[in-house]
Homo-oligomer: A and B are copies of this chain.
């Protein structure tokens, strides 16, 4: 596999478009007034399985040939990628083996099962996940689909911004969250190929700021004890993602936990849509840098809407 090109992202979009939603772009006069800028929210919370991850997963699975598909696909993930991969495999009628920590929330376990995913539980640490995944692969010969360190995943995630740029002109900035860097690398590449001088900015929790430090240092510095409400952004940057981010992202803004909650609260209350904490970092970046973004035209990628309503009070307050 090679670094995604303009053509390969266009092909990815054609490959997946029947199986994903073209998500709406929403705006809020109240929020624009509050922050004195012009914001356009790309609502991937309305995407299939409730997150942008559907784009990459469908692209990755649908790019495999019959031989690669015949024994199914696998990954380790407790989050949206697990659901997205299970769904993509289900559409192709092949197995999806998902390694999940045994303490994963029941809603997430059930969601994966609903899409036909076959779950292998393991201890709740990265080593256990990786060794369990190796076991699964040696037993099943399934093809591993990494949640972000995979060019087909990056191409798929790029289609969100490709859509955005076909709907909006003259943007000053596009802000995307950064965790492993699948969405961010895709956003940056799509802006590079299909955009028109907008700058791509990443938003990252201060409590999980490996991308910020890696970006500054010029080499990948893994996450150490990340601890943030934005639970989709705990992972460290991927090796394929980092060079793309270095080349095409203009800066990384870190945000504190308070701003993430405020941003989430504002979006729920004013826009009447449900987003997960990881999505809220993009508005948090504006909340903490109002002078910088004043009077600018900004697209913000709302990455997903999967929250456990049981824990809703804790998340919001």
Contacts and interface: CB of A to CB of B under 8 A. Distances in A.
Interface of A: 24, 45-46, 50, 265, 268-269, 272-275, 305, 309-310, 312-313, 316-317
Contact of A312 (B24, B305, B313): B313
Q: Is the interface of A mostly helix, strand, loop or mixed?
A: helix
Contact of A268 (B24, B274, B313): B274
Contacts of A273: 272-274
B272 A309 contact: no
The quantity of this chain's copies bound in the complex is: 2
Given A273-B274, A312-B316, 15 more contacts: A46-B272, A50-B272, A265-B309, A268-B274, A268-B309, A269-B309, A272-B274, A272-B275, A272-B305, A273-B273, A274-B274, A309-B316, A312-B312, A312-B313, A313-B313
Of the listed residues A269, A275, A316, the one surrounded by the most CB atoms of chain B closer than 10 A to its CB is A269
Contacts of A275: 272
A2 to B, nearest CB: 35
A269 B265 CA distance: 16
Contacts of A265: 309
14 contacts: A45-B272, A46-B272, A50-B272, A268-B274, A268-B309, A269-B309, A272-B273, A272-B274, A273-B273, A273-B274, A309-B316, A310-B317, A312-B312, A313-B313
